[in-house]
Structure 1
Amino acid sequence: MARKWAGYAVIIYLVYVACMYGYIFWFADTSIPQALKGTAADPQTFLNARELVLSEEYSNIRNFIFLAYTPFEWLIYFFILLCGVSRVFERWAVSISKWRVAQTGIYLFWLSLLTYIAVFPIQYISYTFSRAYNINTQSFGAWMKDEIIGFWINFALMFLIVSVLYWLMKKSSKKWWLYAWLLSVPFSFLLMFVQPVWIDPLYNDFYPLKNKQLEEKILTLADRADIPAEHVYEVNKSEETNALNAYVTGVGANSRIVLWDTTLNKLQEDEILFIMAHEMAHYVEKHIYIGIAGYLALTFVGLWLISRLMNYIVERWGKLLKISAVDTISSLPLFLLLTGVLLFASNPLSNYVSRYQETRADRYAIEMTGDQDAAIHAFQELTRTGLSQVHPPLLIKWLRYTHPSMLERISTIENYDKDE
């Protein structure tokens, strides 16, 4: 029976990958609408012939890797259960230590290591293509260093979450999902408070903006937006990418305005001010808190669904999947599989909300700076440096795009009437 299920899973995955390949490379429509040809949103007006080709090629590859990678993770978790690997890891952990916390750590380490090794080829392929198209500028050694740092940060966070989660399962088999959700509320806020100060600096060096005249202008914008920031931070992202970015992160006293040095190097001052006004809009309009509220609402529904599904699956197919009970640590791959599926299914909704917020932020930035030309040129340069697809396929937009397409953003700004 296990071999039969494994065969079905592989066939389904391969058919899915073939369909996604056909959709992206053969059938998806990425042509510019006739009404927008020749406008500032038409990539032929600001990209040369080579950049147009590279943009389409690179975007198609990225989109295909994303669509292939996500269900591949689910397949790995499914095989870990089906082949009894999860139960073996649990037995190893129990044989090494009598302490449940230590058992969780041992089990999670081996599970994390195995899944990382399994998905590493896809991650390496993604890195290689990014290097080939001159987006990623990291050496293999620097890239691996970030991968290792990421592995241990994820392991530490997962260890904390999984330890608490399975302790709750032991204590309350029916309401563990509710208690886990209640604990996720303060944890989410704590993580937002901690990340800018403790986690982000593990990957890059942050330092006060060297251009003090520009910093003063940005802080003037921040003061108008009532953002409690005393400094603007610059981060040395040029060591790893040619892409551009800027953001406002953190909450309360830990709020930070951050500019990538690539943005400073490739955009003009008025373009940078527009980008910063856009990022400040997220703070002003409380998008961070709205995002947390939405995340917590989805988490509430998701944990409830996962609890129901895990009970049903273990009761019906527990023997096949080598899971004796929901509250045993060997059920973790099932929990992660279901979490991944539900998160993927929620992408269209969460991305839609995010795109709406980004549209609001664009409008706010135009109203604050009053500089449409700077906004258009900034988005055109973002497209060029990141080899972004100006008009992505509809399915990709639903599943991947947290921002409106560049076609939508540039055309909206070009047609924006500040007197309306």
Structure 2
Amino acid sequence: MNVVLGGVVSIVLFGVVRRLPRTWWICGAGVSVVFLIFFIMIAPVFIFPLLNKYTVLEDPKITQPILSLARANGIPAQKVYQMDASRQTTRMSANVSGYGQTMRITLNDNLLSRGSPEEIQSVMGHEMGHYVLHHIAKDILHFSVVIVIFFALLRWSLERALARWGERWRVRGIGDPAVLPLVFLLGSLFAFVYTPFLNTHIRTNEHEADMYGLNASRQPDGFTQAAIHLGEYRKMDPGPFEEWIFFDHPSGRNRIHDAMLWKAENLELFTPKAGY
């Protein structure tokens, strides 16, 4: 899916460059933002269901707590869906996507088969946190700014590189397909420099959703179980510098620490009250 979308975006952008050699970077940024919005807001509702089997989850033991949690947090979902992700991965995940009538709560079958009810509720609290905290809108704004900056830097770099070495490289101009290796090189350099900042942005959102989910679901033990499961494919205890550079989610250790700290500060929720 990502390869197909990436190919389509590349073809469209190169077409923009060839047709608009003076303002290509402005139009290219605009086209990229449109694709970004499509991928974040539209694809999860209308495209991804074409690639996986989505079915309505009927088990009230699972759906009722989730829908109750959704109503308590202002999420107008009426049904809970299951996705057959186990055909492709063993990872556990869920999401809240769409708006209004297209609102959808989805759990993958790995979470349903491997997660406890408490774990499922904690994961859904986290995902609802992304929705309630408007992380989608914030991501669109953040990445739109980054896209504009990237295209401005790309234009500046290409103009100077081609003015100095274009004749030697036999690149006739920005619309020449021979310029693509240079574009990919510059894009890779930009991505390399931007990666720690990208990961920090995403990791901050994830931490906010973690804390929201703990407060909403009140399932710190379930959240800890989820963090341990995620440790199957993420390093549990990286160093601070390693986490800043390479991790786009809080480490498992930090997540477990946050959950246990939250539980320690809310022990009255878990301590049976003595009878009179």
Work out whether the TM-score is over 0.5.
yes
The alpha-carbon distance between structure 1 residues 293 and 277, as it changes in their structure 2 partners (threshold 3 A), is same
Bigger shift: 409-418 or 158-167? 158-167
Q: Distance between the aligned counterparts of 1:184 and 1:353, measured in 2? A: 20
Q: Distance between the aligned counterparts of 1:199 and 1:158, measured in 2? A: 19
Matches within 5 A, 1:369-380: 369-380=217-228
The match for 2:248 is 402
8 Å CA contact 1:355, 1:402 repeated in 2: yes
Shift of 1:316: 1.3
The match for 2:139 is 291
Q: Distance between the aligned counterparts of 2:110 and 2:216, measured in 1? A: 24
Q: Distance between the aligned counterparts of 1:159 and 1:409, measured in 2? A: 41
Q: Distance between the aligned counterparts of 1:263 and 1:176, measured in 2? A: 45
Matches within 5 A, 1:76-91: none
Q: Distance between the aligned counterparts of 1:304 and 1:199, measured in 2? A: 31
The alpha-carbon distance between structure 1 residues 157 and 277, as it changes in their structure 2 partners (threshold 3 A), is same
The match for 1:156 is 8
Q: Distance between the aligned counterparts of 1:288 and 1:362, measured in 2? A: 16
Q: Distance between the aligned counterparts of 1:314 and 1:325, measured in 2? A: 7
Shift of 1:305: 0.4
Whether 2:171 is the aligned partner of 1:323: answer: yes
1:350-383 deviation per Cα after TM superposition (whole angstroms, max 9, x unaligned): 2112111111111111111222222212212332
Counterpart amino acid of 1:353?
H
Q: Distance between the aligned counterparts of 1:166 and 1:334, measured in 2? A: 16
Whether 2:206 is the aligned partner of 1:354: answer: no
Q: Distance between the aligned counterparts of 2:24 and 2:205, measured in 1? A: 33
Counterpart amino acid of 2:70?
A
Q: Distance between the aligned counterparts of 2:186 and 2:132, measured in 1? A: 35
Give 3-state SS (helix, strand or coil) of 1:319's partner.
Answer: helix
8 Å CA contact 2:17, 2:175 repeated in 1: no
Whether 2:259 is the aligned partner of 1:413: answer: yes
Bigger shift: 182-191 or 273-282? 182-191
The match for 2:237 is 391
Whether 2:187 is the aligned partner of 1:339: answer: yes
Give 3-state SS (helix, strand or coil) of 1:248's partner.
Answer: strand
1:257-313 deviation per Cα after TM superposition (whole angstroms, max 9, x unaligned): 221101111111111011001011011001111111110111111110000001111
Gaps of 5+ in 1: 1-148
Give 3-state SS (helix, strand or coil) of 1:226's partner.
Answer: coil
The alpha-carbon distance between structure 1 residues 205 and 332, as it changes in their structure 2 partners (threshold 3 A), is same
User: Matched residue pairs, number?
Assistant: 265
The match for 1:269 is 117
The alpha-carbon distance between structure 1 residues 361 and 199, as it changes in their structure 2 partners (threshold 3 A), is same
Counterpart amino acid of 1:226?
G
Whether 2:13 is the aligned partner of 1:167: answer: no
Matches within 5 A, 1:189-208: 189-208=37-56
Q: Distance between the aligned counterparts of 2:173 and 2:39, measured in 1? A: 31
Counterpart amino acid of 1:291?
D
8 Å CA contact 2:122, 2:214 repeated in 1: yes
TM (norm. structure 2) is: 0.87
Give 3-state SS (helix, strand or coil) of 2:169's partner.
Answer: coil
Matches within 5 A, 1:5-20: none
1:90-124 deviation per Cα after TM superposition (whole angstroms, max 9, x unaligned): xxxxxxxxxxxxxxxxxxxxxxxxxxxxxxxxxxx
Shift of 1:345: 1.2
Bigger shift: 183-192 or 269-278? 183-192
8 Å CA contact 1:207, 1:233 repeated in 2: yes
1:23-45 deviation per Cα after TM superposition (whole angstroms, max 9, x unaligned): xxxxxxxxxxxxxxxxxxxxxxx
The match for 2:213 is 365
Q: Distance between the aligned counterparts of 1:184 and 1:151, measured in 2? A: 16
The match for 2:273 is none
1:157-180 deviation per Cα after TM superposition (whole angstroms, max 9, x unaligned): 3323332243222xx2xx332232
* Overall identity of the aligned pairs, in %: 28
Q: Distance between the aligned counterparts of 1:202 and 1:157, measured in 2? A: 20
Gaps of 5+ in 2: 268-276
The alpha-carbon distance between structure 1 residues 206 and 321, as it changes in their structure 2 partners (threshold 3 A), is farther
Shift of 1:154: 3.1
The match for 1:240 is 88
TM (norm. structure 1) is: 0.59
Q: Distance between the aligned counterparts of 1:250 and 1:402, measured in 2? A: 23
8 Å CA contact 2:150, 2:190 repeated in 1: yes
1:118-166 deviation per Cα after TM superposition (whole angstroms, max 9, x unaligned): xxxxxxxxxxxxxxxxxxxxxxxxxxxxxxx554443233323332243
Q: Distance between the aligned counterparts of 2:44 and 2:235, measured in 1? A: 30
The match for 1:249 is 97
